[in-house]
């Protein structure tokens, strides 16, 4: 997958995690809130990997 596609995928994951976390907070569901936080953490890691692949050596 290309760097741009990875970035888009990571952004979508981050938004989905934020929605889950907000829904969990609104409903008082700690499990949903924690799952949203995990989604957001995974998205941040994916964004970091995509950025790192972009800044690699160019030939």
Q: Is there a domain that residue 42 lies in?
A: yes
Taking 80 as the threshold, does the pLDDT of residue 9 lie above it?
yes
What is the Cα–Cα distance from 21 to 33, expressed in whole angstroms?
4
Contact indicator for 3, 50 with CB cutoff of 8 Å: yes
**How many domains does one find in the chain?**
1
Q: Which domain holds residue 11?
A: 7-51
More confident residue, 56 or 42: 42
pTM of the model: 0.77
Q: pLDDT-based confidence at 26, cuts 50/70/90?
A: very high
Q: pLDDT-based confidence at 55, cuts 50/70/90?
A: low
Determine the pLDDT at residue 51: 85
> Residue 56 gets which letter from DSSP?
S
Q: Is there a domain that residue 2 lies in?
A: no
Rg (CA), the chain: 14
């Amino acid at each position: 997958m290309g760097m741009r596609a990875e970035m888009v995928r990571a952004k979508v994951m981050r938004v989905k995690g934020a929605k889950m976390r907000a829904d969990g907070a609104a409903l008082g569901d700690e499990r949903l809130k924690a799952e949203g936080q995990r989604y957001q953490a995974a998205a941040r890691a994916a964004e970091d990997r995509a950025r790192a692949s972009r800044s690699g050596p160019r030939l």
